Amino acid sequence: MPANKKYLTPTVSQRFAKISAAILGGFIVAILFHLALASWFNHVAVIITSTFSAFILWATLMIVAFLGKNGWKVWGIYLLASLVLFVIFHFGNQTNPIV
């Protein structure tokens, strides 16, 4: 039984935006989240924990990317989240430098 046409993404650009946001955007947000945590807390414990939790977060963000109606809005949200996480990471490195 084929899929109902009203549930499929109509344009190629939206399909590309959702797929790239799911793979690249989700990966960037997941890694920056763990880097931000590592800059403020015990970095060894966060890195060891991130081997599993980063994959779970990435998979969750991949699912969220396909739930959105507009792939470019998902990219915008992921880029904004990664910018905020990068700022947290940057100020964490300035406050607690890893020697």
Per-residue pLDDT tens over the stretch 48-97: 888 899 999 999 999 999 898 888 999 999 999 999 999 999 998 888 77
- The whole-number pLDDT of residue 62 equals 94
Q: How far apart are CA 69 and CA 10, in angstroms?
A: 11
pLDDT at 58: 94
Show me where the domains of the chain are located. Answer: 14-93
What are the pLDDT digits (tens) for 28-50?
Answer: 999 999 999 888 888 888 888 88
How far apart (Å, rounded) are the C-alpha atoms in residues 63 and 57?
10
Q: Is the pLDDT of residue 7 over 70?
A: no
Q: Structure pTM?
A: 0.83
